[in-house]
Structure 1
């Protein structure tokens, strides 16, 4: 009888990729994906909420009498959790269960997804005062370029969008003199039908070479640049490597050189020394930069980080500020999306109801049945409301090559 396993994944794209890596390797070695054997919980501890959800999944598996392995960030953050086996590294999970090293170096599937993540690096050399990730992700490691290129060749036939991801994507290759832009250039040369998207990048890691590569229609004109705060005072306390003024200046420079670029971001609410003036500075940044999407989240103190020493703001204050920012984000992103009314987008259909992301990361709802899951359609944006964007498929055809990003010449 085959050994049984099932996976429960919480957290970021790296965790999702690592879980699929474990899954495909166990299946290749004859294991059966089914409850009643080993429960593998790939846990997250970036916030208290994520840690709480991970604990809940562990206790649920233990109550069912299953053997439990905990992997991912949680396994390093709490290495001796009662009743479980803690193994941070995904390859060692496979080796522990099977006694064999993983046969597969990458992934080929991504169940229930129309886009596929490809992890290119792991680990973070940063020192943000609130963040536990550098401690729980281990040493910075970049995968070899050839290994990544082979994986992309293997998955492109089944996915129309490939998302490069990592714990700290912008430091890819630095251990051996490589760079993210060099990797992206090589990927673009081998892609035939799929488009390429970059996940989160730090603002100062967007180099000139990378900007030049946006002239390719294969590279999605979208950058997710975490802001965290619009207050230079708070950014300094967070130990972020830029000021608010620098952030604005760099985004303006990017817009000058890549005409149709879209920005999305993250903003933290309630970092302990934050005042109402700091919050207002973050709100001002929404209009200065013009983000299409903004993920807002409350500060969560993490054990072992410098920010743990700060006295937290009252929960009521954080809730009130969160609500203020939420309303400001709705207004500012609505203003940005309205600029796209009447424009034609390349939409990857990702849900049965007929919705998906455009190349510049606008979620667009189209008529139900307008396209098959995983198909890329040419869609005209016909309506923009405060919270949603709607479009109509043009001729029911897949996107042509006529809608391209325009790059201003470098002189």
Structure 2
């Protein structure tokens, strides 16, 4: 039925962008996903699962967990979102995408189940609902552990369909995000994200503020979930970042290099390591110091401080898309290129606070090349280049608007005098400019 990347993308991208539509029940996306999976024999229950939610660091924590488990000899299925360069990034076994023929075979079965659910309910399944079902189907029977990243929130998210009592929930840093869907306070948002906590099970939480931590604690009591709270801020504060990368001291190990760049990644690494240590104790195996060191050092993830050099100019590609993430990115850029002015090629969604985002990157000598994203259907959901440029000017940052993102990168490279260029604000932006930066091709999948 499906015979390659083009067919895979056409089928998935033909789905509605969101399952949260006017007039639909709030839990409709999750329930449609549950029904599609039931038609597949409930593959989400076939593998021990680590389920990760939060506002910042979800993808990085998933990558660290998967890398640590892989270096301990386990076969690990990863379901991540969003993708940066291609849909197959969302489905991995170990370090590589699920092999194309395996994915096509699973997609054929998913498509049949989707068609049956849509006919029965008279509703269409969204892109993310179908992707979620495909991710579970691709991993079932092929992995020892699954690592699953939520989309938005937690309680009503399509990924929140695993009923196994041994599911381990991990909650990363929680901030104000998607307030139109999750609530307007940190407590409300934390309650939604804590909806992934397994009843009678275990969870690991990155310590945050009093309001969000209290909300998670209340939900943990209600669900009888034992929660370990991890001080990620201390780990980040003690980490070291420079031109060569980031290192962190862990219990029993010093100067451990991280594959992901930035002091904030030290907090993500410590949270991931704690989660893996919970699995080791529970499942009867031991952490190997060499495997820990190697696992943290080789972790990689598209769109997280990807470093390129173009005609001698350092370029960073990063999917940071709100003030919290952009602030962490700005700190990392300053520590990696101390004392050098930075040109920010910036695109942003309208559900982000434009003023706060621009202020987060407004360091000494900064300038902004404001741009948009390809595809007219996305234009209404993003700030226009002229709006971003105006906000930057109001924050005292020199700015110019260049509508086409690839042209914006060219402008930044030709006018920046060889100083760093950072392309950020959306996970869609690195993919839109990759052809100008000669990014390596996505590797082929691993043997079955």
Query: Quick check: TM above 0.5?
Result: no
Q: TM-score band, normalised by the shorter chain?
A: 0.3 to 0.5
Please give the TM-score of this superposition, normalised by the length of structure 2.
0.35
Please give the TM-score of this superposition, normalised by the length of structure 1.
0.37
**Higher fraction of strand:** 1
**Higher fraction of helix:** 2
